[in-house]
């Protein structure tokens, strides 16, 4: 967002230019900012983020603002709150020159302000979080905005996305991933100080009952 009284808050041409600067930061600078010290010491090339969605909206009071959703590789990055804060501070200090504002939804989730959470570490087998990620988080950015469309028309893009990896050829690659047993349920994830990674916690589930017909 922009602070009240700052011209780009209600000037689409200027707001669009700031959005383009934000996109360049996500693609070019952020991978360097969040790269681990270990990879820096090894002089490895920073890996691009897995993907992003930016939804542009306009509010009568807030003016132009952008909803940013980032997708990162959980094997490399676990500090979602810190990464979101780094993006917000860059927007505040570097991009807008203290003329911007930001809100960190991941921090809200960590502080328990949401009953259903689809941000942070989302394990591929955590169906509950994946459903929230799909039905709530990612759709929020692309839900559309009547006021924004009324001011820009159809000539300007109000939804930006990028960074998506290409789908792997199923005929290539190594051994397929081992699927979890159907008789187990995912409880949560625990962080290992030894490996510096999250690992899933499973529990036995009730065996499925055979169907009964009368």
- Read off the pLDDT of residues 144-158 as tens digits, 9 standing for 90 and up: 788 898 888 767 888
Give me 124's structure tokens.
């591929």
pLDDT, residue 164, reads: 64
Q: How far apart are CA 46 and CA 205, in angstroms?
A: 41
Q: Reading across the β-sheet that carries 63-71, which strands appear in turn? A: 63-71, 51-59, 159-162
pLDDT, residue 130, reads: 83
pLDDT, residue 214, reads: 36
pLDDT, residue 189, reads: 58
Give, for all 214 residues of the chain, the pLDDT tens digit: 999 999 999 999 999 999 999 999 999 999 999 998 888 899 999 988 888 999 999 998 899 999 999 998 888 888 899 999 999 999 999 999 999 999 999 898 889 887 778 788 888 887 888 888 887 788 777 787 888 988 887 678 888 888 765 666 656 666 665 555 545 555 555 656 666 565 666 555 554 444 444 3
pLDDT, residue 185, reads: 55
- Read off the pLDDT of residues 39-86 as tens digits, 9 standing for 90 and up: 889 999 998 888 899 999 999 889 999 999 999 888 888 889 999 999
Residue 137, SS3? helix
Query: DSSP assignment, residue 34?
Result: S
Q: How far apart are CA 205 and CA 133, in angstroms?
A: 24
């Amino acid at each position: 967002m922009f602070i009240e009284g700052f011209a780009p808050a209600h000037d689409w041409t200027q707001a669009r230019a700031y959005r383009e600067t934000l996109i360049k930061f996500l693609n070019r600078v952020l991978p360097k900012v969040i790269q681990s010290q270990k990879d820096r010491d090894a002089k490895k090339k920073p890996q691009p983020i897995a993907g992003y969605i930016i939804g542009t909206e306009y509010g009568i009071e807030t003016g132009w603002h952008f909803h940013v959703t980032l997708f990162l590789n959980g094997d490399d990055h676990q500090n979602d709150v810190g990464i979101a804060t780094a993006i917000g501070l860059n927007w505040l200090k570097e991009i807008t020159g203290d003329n911007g504002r930001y809100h960190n939804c991941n921090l809200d989730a960590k502080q328990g302000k949401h009953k259903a959470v689809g941000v942070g570490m989302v394990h591929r087998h955590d169906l509950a979080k994946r459903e929230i990620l799909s039905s709530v988080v990612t759709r929020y950015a692309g839900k559309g905005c009547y006021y924004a469309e009324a001011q820009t028309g159809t000539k300007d893009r109000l939804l930006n996305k990028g960074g998506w990896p290409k789908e792997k050829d199923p005929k290539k690659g190594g051994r397929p991933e081992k699927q979890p047993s159907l008789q187990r349920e995912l409880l949560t994830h625990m962080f290992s100080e030894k490996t510096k990674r999250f690992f899933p916690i499973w529990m036995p589930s009730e065996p499925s009952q055979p169907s009964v017909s009368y």
